Structure 1
Amino acid sequence: MTPTMIWHRLKLSVIAGTIVILGLLAVGTLLLAHRSLVTTRHAAEAELQRSAQGVENALNRQLLQIHGALAAIRPMFAAAGVTASSPAANELLRGFNLQTIAYRDMMLVAPDGAILASARPRGALRTLPVATQPTSIQPASMVGPVESPVNGDWSLYAVRAVPGWGGVVAVADVPVLSLMKILAETGLAPGTRIRIERPTGQLVASLPHDELAIGEWRHGALGTRPPDGKAFVAANDKGEPELAVVRSSLPGDLRVILTTDLADALAPWRRFRDRLAAAAALGGTLVAAFAGALLIALRQREKVDSERARATAVLANAVEAMSDGFALWDGDDRLVACNQRYREMFAITAPFLIPGARFQDIMRASTHAQQLPLPGPVTEEAVAERERWHRPENSPVERQMSTGRWVLMTDRRTADGGVVAIRTDITALKAVQAELAEANLRATEAAAEAQRQNMVLIEREGRIRFLAHHDDLTGLPNRVVFRERIGKSLHQAAELGEKMALLYLDLDRFKDVNDTLGHPVGDALLRTVAARLTNCVQAPGAVARLSGDEFAIISIGPQQPEAATELAGRIIALLGEPYSALGHTISVSVSVGIAVAEAAWTDADTLLKQADLALYRAKAWGRGTLCVFEPEMDVHLRARLEMEQDLRQALAQDQFELAYQPIFSVVTGAITGFEALLRWNHPRRGLVDPSIFVPLTEDSRSIVEIGAFAMRQAVADIAALPGDLKVAVNLSPVQLAFGDIIGTVEAALRDSGLPPARLECEITETALFESEQTSLAVLQRLRDLGVRIVLDDFGTGYSSLSRLRLLPIDKIKIDRSFVLDATEGSASAAIIEAVTVLTGRLGIATVAEGIETEEQWALLARTSCAEAQGFLLGRPLPIAEAAALARAGAGVPVALAQRFSPLA
């Protein structure tokens, strides 16, 4: 039987025993509860029966007392010599009535029901509300219950015939409430109810008192039950079980019924049952908890044994799977275990590796078998030396075997005095170490070379860092560093309570020096100018070269611009002296613009712009002059800043809109497409000229977002037009350099569904050639998408017919300046004709813009120009009007088309 089966059976035994104990506990609890129920019910029945007997006895005493009083009337009247109808009868009855409280009034009633005499004043009561004729009553009986017509009280009437009085009867008025008060004093248990009924089931009285139910008849189990005085269970009016006892009065004309709710009678048993159940539940819980704890303990023990067995198996497998030889020796140096790898490494010793064999005996046998390569003769000393390898303080020992292989012998002492022996084949490691030694030598040499190269890189990096902040030609700080120094100087001047001025310098006629004497002479001149400025200012970092022949100087002093003006005068005089550069004597002058930081909000960019404005004013006055910035010069600057601020909000506030100028075919006169023109409709400025705001958007690079809007809107608008009409959208060089124009175009085409062939992207030749490599790459990718490329303003920039065939363009647009000057026989007309012929042979279409007169249209119609646009043919229109024009199939006005037809 496996250990798992043993543990399983043991756990099943615990579970079965627990179930048996819990079952016995449950059965015992149920039996005890049932016995308690029977005992409690018997006790409740006995108590109710005793109470019923007590109530019956009290009722009988009252009835006997009443009937005794009625029977004594005749003797009492005879002794007093009083008749029933005499006035003395009332007094006699009154005195007799005071002797008992069993009834309220004693009356003598004639056969016709008239009251002859009474112990109490009769008031309005002259006759009884019940029949008292001798024919309808027994010699003694009870009548009622009857509700008094005078006060509404319920009463029983005890009636007894008076013999010899001619049918006169004696009547005792017994109030129901008085009767129940006497019965309530019998000491009933809480919750016990009393009913006094007539044998017919008519209710006479009840406790608790129920005024409305008195006199009512009830039919049911209680009414038919014999008055045997034994308790029984019946259902009340609500259908709930109750315990009841029925007894009869001695005369037999009244029944006494006592009831109590069965639930109340069994309340002690329920409390006992609940306590018993709680005790049983607690006991069961304890038994189950004990059994659970026992099962958990057994499970833990089983788990520990299982883990121990698994760990033993894992350890054995791990030891066998080791790539090293492993052997374990006990405190007496006897072999405990070893793996197969150990036996393979020491094959001759393997027969002697028997668990329990002593280390010395195995070493001696292996020494004789020449397994160990110990130096010297095989002696006991050699065995003792090998035995010392067991000591923990010794380091691992490397030994070369007779076969030439190397073995690392590692022996470590255990806590109980044993030894763990690890044997590792390190032959490959030795070979690698030899290779590493050789590699280390080569690495040392390489490190020396790398260190030499690193020094070169450090020098170059230092040079790069210097060039990032300084001008390479003059060694002066460049624009980036100088802007930072302006900010620091502004802060320094504010702390000192002084003012800062910025001098902006520009050499006059420096371009002439470069053009005539060459760039090397110009460079030498710039270095000399930088040296003179540095010597003149003598403030570290106060002089910078901004670009080309432009320099800037920071001046801080309490009196500005006086100090800056004085410094500018000295600089003008100093730089005006002749220069000797590469064998040439040169004379140049310098113009200076001065700006003073007057306001706390002034920043470096503003100060540079103000100084630049002042410089332009100085150069306008002549060479070798200076000019101090005045606030009125800032009007233009502030207007520019305000417009830049408005431009930042224009796109978000939907102030931009597109107008569409139709483009016509010169041959057919039909509309071939539209050029989308950006319009800025400012709420205060109105329509702003594109030539004013477009350069600002390019300077701030907001043209990227605005251009993306124009592209999306134009493509979406034209996609809704019929036919194959095209749309031309202008691209800024800033969009090509800094925007994702490819992604913008792809998204616009994808969202609108417009075929790429219906989209034309226009770029000016000036922008194309300023950043030719970047622009050409982007334009080629657009052309790969299927978009047509149009070269705008052809002939106004760097036009080169030899390069035209190399550009990825589909169409060129002849600039309006040529069209404006085009008259019959003019140079512009010849240029237009030549361009259209040349591009036609290259497979490049042409479009002329700016057609404003019929003469221009007539001249153009005689060329091979494909398309034309201008105010004469059609002005820019909103998209709704442009769409209506396209849907109407409108073309060039008929008169123009017939008069200047290319076919004519």
Structure 2
Amino acid sequence: MSLKTLQWLLAATVCCFAAATFYLSYVIVARQDALHSVSRYNAAWTVSQGVSEFMRLEHRLAAYAIPGRNVSHDELQLRLDILFSRLAVFDSEAEAIGHERSIRHFIESDRSHLATIDNLRQALQTVEGLLANPPVSIPDAMAALAVLEPLDAQLTSLAARAASHGASLAGEDQAALQRLHTIFTALAIGLILCGVALIVLLLNQNRLLMRAQGRLRNLADRLQATTRSLQAQNERFDAALENMSQALCTFDANGRLAVFNERFAALTGLPEHELAGATTEEIIERSAGRLQVSAFEQIARRQRPLVKQKHGALFTQELEDGRAFSVSHEPLPDGGWLATYEDISERRQAEARIAHMAHHDPLTDLPNRTLFQERLEFAVSRSRDDGSRTRVFLLDLDGFKDVNDTLGHHAGDELLKVVAKRLESSAGTRRLAARIGGDEFAVLDETPDGTEASLEFARRLIAFLSCPYAIEGKQIDIGVSIGIAEHAGDARHPEDLLKRADLALYQAKADGKGRARLFEPAMDAHLLFRKTFEADLRGALQRGEISVHYQPLVDTETRSICGYEALMRWQHPVRGWVSPAEFIPVAEDTGLIDALGEWVMRQALQEAARWPDHFTVAVNLSAVQFRSGALARTVISALAAAGIRPERLHLEITESVLLAASDQTLATLHQFKNLGVRIAMDDFGTGYSSLSNLRSFPFDTIKIDQSFVRDLSTGPEALSVVQLIISLGTSLGMETTAEGVETEAQYACLQALGCTHVQGYLFARPKPARELDHAASPPLPEDAAADGEPSKTSQGQIAL
């Protein structure tokens, strides 16, 4: 049977009971009126009226408990007040019709009458309490019915006795009629009460069952959903734990291992089943029998104070086996702690290698110019403070160019390595030997020796370094010239000391090479030449002596030209081609670099506008140009005048730009980036802190310096460095360009390593714009023209 059918049946039953109740009430009233008309005995009438009102109260309560009967609280309260008034009549002492016929006399005639009245009074007071706070709930109404139900029989008995009392005066027939009426009334009331109780119970039971069923269904659905969610979350959590690069562990408030991954197990050296639920002391104790102290035991020594103090920390732990771990220790709210352990050994080794490369020459492994200048600055500063001696020896190999020309660059490189070893052994631990470029070396001397001792040391160097060399089965004879400069009060800056040593070296070579010369004030005549050189440079642009040459940029994969790099050239009317390495520093010192740089920028962009639309043009920028604040306007104006897309312009900067970077410099670089101009890091690896520079700005291209490319096919160290730079660029999403590619072997190696672009004499020398052939493929080495023009490889480049 459906729930709806059951509800209809219950409603029909309620209606039947209600109809029977109204009918019985009607019969009672009619019979009472008949009896009253026959016998006017006040006691019987009063009691009957009280019982009638009592029944009406019960009837109203029963109807109130049935939904939809529209019985109000006021009606119930009215019925209750009527019964209280009837009760007051029962308590009256006498009535007008005589004491023997008074209701009081009838009640006091039997103790049970008094008990019934007392019970009625208590019951009415209880019901009054249940009905005191409207609206009255159905349970309260049912409770009121339950309180009144025991009085049905008592009041009925009381009414019967009252009727009997009245009827005894009227006759036996009235008494018999009254008894029948009482029995009939009692049965009808009992039937009504039982029916109402049954209906209420069924409704309550049905409601409770439906509610319980709904709750159970919702609970089951939620439990299933929660189970699925927890299962998926656990699977993701397990996958994350096992695939993370760090070892991870979580200890609870009792110091026992709660969560860990495979990498943590490897860190402790124990199987996983021995780790679950173990404390740190138990883990260390179980791994104590091994030959080597576990990594976790060494790290845990630093974690113990953090665990006790409930502090968090991030630190690096060096292990006995040379490895290094980055440890993050954090306390948890429940009293436990969580830690991650990342093996940073390879990263630190890579950083150390790159830092070493930034301060050391890749060919000879001697300190490079950067490190030499740092040490020189410190020495000069100390000399100014305490008056100690500081001397600089500049060495230049005599005849080295002939070795390169006759035996090749490889033999020249091997010779430089042997020279470096001899120089380093001669310098010993008291002096710093460095290679500052090409075949130039330097020695920093901070010993207290006098001038004569310095000259003697220089002569020993000349004699030792001039001894024959055996390179590739051949004897090589070279010489060396040395310029010496000592710190004096008028040399306030390290650059002054280097310039004086350079002047002394120039004089030593002029004296016939193989000599050592101390700096003398007369050598400052070189400054006069410098001023003449500056004057010639100032007018070079107006006289049309400055030009722009272009060297192709080749796609490594297809070996096709994809762009050009713009290189400044100066053809002096007397000196001929002047190396950019000579005039660019002068232009930077004098401020001419801004005008020269803007001219080259506009010339290169105007020429690029006539190239195929996919060709790019690379222009170099100097750190000095960023100081004026007008660089961004110059580039934007040149792009607009040429009418080419910003994406075709590549701006190349060296690490010196970032080393001296100000907020204005970084803002200018970001302005270029937002325009769409691509930025390249030039000569990567030859400066200082290359990795930090790559992090400071999002470059598009890394240019590998030719010093690494030159030894690529013969030196494993150079191969490792180039491979590292290309891998670094790939991981950072940057392109890589190799400079100075001169052999097919170098090209093939770079192609295999995944280098993006290459440039060098293997493909073409820098040429004027009129000689460029965009449609031609880059020539093979034997096809390359040897026009004698200075190249980027040999003469440097414009740093715009």
Shorter-chain TM-score bucket reads: 0.3 to 0.5
- Structure holding more helix per residue: 2
Larger Rg: 1
Higher RCO structure, 1 or 2 (CA under 8 Å, sep 6+) = 2
User: Given the two structures, how large is their TM-score scaled by the length of structure 2?
Assistant: 0.35
More strand by share: 1
